[in-house]
């Protein structure tokens, strides 16, 4: 039974996830990394390449994933990994990025942005936007289409993707799509889904409040606030079409759904995929049946957005 599989997986995840809210940032990072399994889908892509790219007064790492085949001018997806702004890296989401490149036949650029607390907000968001700008400027040389750039991310990476979309509206480049997978969009931690699913469902309220403190360097939001809290942006019109994924048993469900409604209200085309019974982070679990079917739908949604735009 599907419900039995979900319950068993969720129970194992909840029991095995380290109590990050009782740790320092580096301790949490090591504890989360210790649970990581290597990617098993290495053949999904033809080439994987690590690079350093410029980002104002620094460089950041990116990992490029090239699908099989010699298709010219592929769409480009800039991907921001989750991990509460504190944990995870290029390796933690390697398998997902390989699957994303294969499923959408897109060039994927995974971003090794700066992590908190060593680099508080808005460092990660600025790195995300720098990577988007670099991808757009170099798309043609990489075999990509500069008119079909998407930004995507899961959890905290969904926050960074949403902020990068806001910054791109203000500063360029023009994006074709934004993909927000159970995104963190507001530090309030006070919605109904927090009250219902804040404990016992893998991602917890205690962990989320701790993540926010690490990222903000305290409790105060920067000015402007939407550099870290995209739900609080003064306006949301003019943003690229969005795919927003939410999971019922996720503390972040209500805020992510509110963001989807906010985008729709601002005239942004939105596909909101809600998954009853599922939980935070499910899409990146290899071998998890519900994740496989949801991924296929995600590839379809993203391909539909990117296939409607071509270089002019």
pLDDT tens-digit map of 253-277: 999 999 999 999 999 999 999 999 9
Structural domain for 265, as ranges: 2-307
Summarize pLDDT for 192-236 with one digit per residue, the tens: 999 999 999 999 999 999 999 999 998 889 889 999 999 999 999
Is the per-residue pLDDT at 88 higher than 90? yes
Q: Please give the Cα distance from 228 to 156 (Å, whole number).
A: 10
pLDDT confidence of residue 44: 97
**Domain assignment present for 172:** yes
Q: How many domains does the chain have?
A: 1
Q: Which of 100, 42, 70, 119 is nearest to 291 (CA)?
A: 100
Band (pLDDT 50/70/90 cuts) for residue 71 is confident
**Domain assignment present for 224:** yes
**Domain assignment present for 122:** yes
pLDDT confidence of residue 186: 97
Q: Please give the Cα distance from 60 to 126 (Å, whole number).
A: 11
**Domain assignment present for 262:** yes
Is the per-residue pLDDT at 180 higher than 60? yes
Is 293 among the residues known to form the active site? no
Summarize pLDDT for 40-54 with one digit per residue, the tens: 999 999 999 999 999
**Domain assignment present for 70:** yes
Is the per-residue pLDDT at 311 higher than 50? no
Q: Find out whether 78 and 109 touch, Cβ atoms under 8 Å.
A: yes
Would you state the torsion angle of the CA atoms of residues 13, 19, 23, 27, taken in this order, to the nearest 10 degrees?
A: -20
Q: Please give the Cα distance from 26 to 18 (Å, whole number).
A: 13
Band (pLDDT 50/70/90 cuts) for residue 86 is very high
Band (pLDDT 50/70/90 cuts) for residue 246 is very high
Q: Please give the Cα distance from 73 to 206 (Å, whole number).
A: 44
Is the per-residue pLDDT at 308 higher than 70? no
pLDDT confidence of residue 312: 33
pLDDT confidence of residue 244: 98
From 92, 110, 155, 193, the catalytic residue = 155
Band (pLDDT 50/70/90 cuts) for residue 1 is very low
Q: What is the CATH number of the domain that holds 256?
A: 3.40.50.1820
Q: Please give the Cα distance from 105 to 256 (Å, whole number).
A: 27
| For residues 125-138, average pLDDT | 98
Mean pLDDT of the chain: 95
Q: In percent, how much of the chain has pLDDT > 70?
A: 98
pTM above 0.95, yes or no: yes
**Domain assignment present for 236:** yes
Residue entry with tokens 């939410």: 246
**Domain assignment present for 312:** no
DSSP bridge partners of 152? 79, 179
| For residues 162-185, average pLDDT | 98
Q: Please give the Cα distance from 59 to 311 (Å, whole number).
A: 28
pLDDT confidence of residue 220: 86
| For residues 21-50, average pLDDT | 96
**Domain assignment present for 291:** yes
Dump the DSSP string for the chain: -HHHHHHHHHHHHHHHS--GGGS-HHHHHHHHHTT----S-GGGSSEEEEEEEEETTEEEEEEEEE-SS--SSEEEEEEE--STTTS--TTTTHHHHHHHHHHHT-EEEEEE---TTTS-TTHHHHHHHHHHHHHHHHHHHHTEEEEEEEEEEETHHHHHHHHHHHHHHHHSPPPSEEEEES----TT--SHHHHHHSSSSSS-HHHHHHHHHHHHTSSPPPSSGGGT-GGG-S--TTPPPEEEEEEEE-TTHHHHHHHHHHHHHTT--EEEEEEEEEETTGGG-TT-HHHHHHHHHHHHHHHHHHHT----
């Amino acid at each position: 039974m599907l419900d039995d599989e979900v319950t068993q997986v969720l129970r194992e995840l909840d029991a095995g996830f380290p109590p990050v809210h009782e740790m320092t940032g580096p301790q949490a990072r090591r504890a989360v990394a210790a649970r990581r399994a290597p990617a098993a889908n290495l053949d999904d892509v033809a080439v994987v390449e690590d690079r350093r790219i410029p980002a104002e007064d620094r460089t950041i790492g990116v990992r490029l994933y090239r699908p099989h085949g010699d298709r010219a001018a592929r769409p480009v997806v800039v991907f921001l990994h989750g991990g509460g702004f504190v944990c995870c890296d290029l390796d933690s989401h390697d398998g997902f990025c390989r699957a994303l490149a294969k499923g959408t036949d897109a060039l994927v650029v995974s971003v090794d942005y700066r992590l908190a607390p060593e680099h508080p907000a808005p460092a990660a968001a600025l790195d995300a936007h720098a990577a988007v700008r670099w991808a757009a400027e170099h798309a043609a040389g990489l075999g990509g289409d500069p008119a079909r750039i998407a930004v995507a991310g899961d959890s905290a990476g969904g926050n960074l993707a949403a902020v990068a979309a806001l910054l791109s509206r203000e500063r360029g480049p023009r994006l074709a799509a934004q993909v927000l997978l159970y995104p963190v969009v507001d530090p309030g931690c006070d919605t109904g889904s927090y009250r219902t699913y804040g404990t016992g469902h893998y991602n917890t309220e205690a962990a989320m409040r701790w993540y926010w403190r690490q990222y903000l360097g305290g409790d105060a939001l920067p000015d402007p606030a939407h550099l870290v809290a995209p739900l609080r942006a003064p306006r949301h019109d003019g943003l690229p079409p969005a795919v927003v994924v939410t999971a019922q048993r996720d503390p972040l469900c209500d805020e992510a759904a509110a963001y989807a409604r906010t985008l729709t209200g601002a005239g942004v085309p939105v596909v909101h995929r809600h998954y009853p019974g599922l939980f935070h982070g499910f899409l990146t679990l290899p071998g998890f049946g519900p994740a496989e079917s949801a991924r296929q739908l995600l590839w379809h949604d993203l391909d539909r957005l990117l296939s409607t735009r071509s270089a002019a």
